[in-house]
Amino acid sequence: MTARILITGAAGIVGTLMRTRLAAPDRTLRLLDIAPLPPAAEGEQVELVTASVTDAAAMAAACEGVDAVIHLGGHSLERPWADILDVNINGTHVVLEAARQAGVKRVVLASSNHAVGYYERSSGEAGDYLFPQPDTYYGVSKVALEALGSLYASRYGMDVIAIRIGSCFEKPRDSRMLSTWLSPDDGARLFEACLSAPSPGFRVVWGVSDNKRRWFSLAEAEALGYKSEDDSEVYAAEVLEASGEPPADSPARVYLGGVWCSSEFDTAVKEAGR
């Protein structure tokens, strides 16, 4: 069991879902976020740190005495290039560099399906290690995160696992998420597998549940010891009744990244005004 784990972005959606699920009697979670974190509950073994992942001194301090880092911090949606560059790309470098200098041997990185969002669903099941096809600047930052992880694993012998997370929410919110959903409990199972697999080196795995409508390989995640126990199908009727299905030829249905491949997410044009 990993004794002390630093979780960056702990106040975010995934961080909040993992806080209780990754708690264990012989484990301390060091929760870090720039946003306020709920105080420790009675008996909860947590340490709370208010800091930005871009603050090298704060990250160096946060990595002291830690056995593993789960890096969830950064913008979780599309943003202007300058924000993505600073918080997601530079921030990931700051976290990995702080981990290296503190002697932390294992880092689990939150990548995203948007690293390969332009992959066409008609091409078949999305394999592990699919070549990058980012759909947004956010997606580019996840490709950079994977590349940084690979560098730190190859050069410094660290174990670094990048999880291409589908959609980790309490429940699937639309028809696409019936395919991309990672249930919170499966998310915790996957993080535990990533923390405990013996000497994984560098890996890129899909973070999804074993959904009946899944488009993704689970082979590499299962090779680490992950076993999904959930399936979005239990929500299918409710989700389809509430939100229906977009037309078959819309970006929402054609691409793995869904609506993120539509003009709505064209940040370059938005920023330039043309």
Binding site for ligand 15L (CB under 6 A): 76-77, 112-114, 167, 180
Is residue 195 within 8 Å of 109, Cβ to Cβ? no
- Residue 231's CB is within 10 A of a number of other CB atoms, namely 18
| CB nearer to ligand 15L: pick between 45 and 76 | 76
- Which lies closer to ligand 15L via its Cβ, residue 30 or residue 114? 114
> Helices in the chain by DSSP H: which ranges?
13-21, 56-63, 81-83, 91-102, 137-156, 177-180, 184-196, 219-223, 236-243, 251-254, 267-272
Shortest Cβ 166–ligand 15L spacing (Å): 6
Q: What are phi and psi of 255, to 5 degrees?
A: -105, 150
Nearer to ligand 15L, 180 or 183 (CB): 180
Integer Cα distance of 145 and 166 in angstroms:
16
Q: How many angstroms separate the first and last alpha carbons of the chain?
A: 53
Q: Smallest gap, in angstroms, from Cβ of residue 255 to ligand 15L? A: 11
Minimal distance, residue 202 CB to ligand 15L, in Å: 20
Shortest spacing between CB 227 and ligand 15L, in angstroms: 22
Catalytic-role residue among 138, 152, 235, 255:
138
In the bound state with ligand 15L, the residue whose beta carbon lies nearer, of 54 and 112, is 112
138 as an active site residue: the answer is yes
Tell me if 167 sits within 8 A of 249, measured CB to CB: no
Least distance in angstroms from the C-beta of 116 to ligand 15L? 11
Q: Which is nearer to ligand 15L, 15 or 200 (CB)?
A: 15
Strands of the sheet containing 106-112, edge to edge, are 46-50, 28-33, 4-8, 68-71, 106-112, 159-165, 202-207
Place of tokens 């239990």: 234
Active-site residue numbers? 138
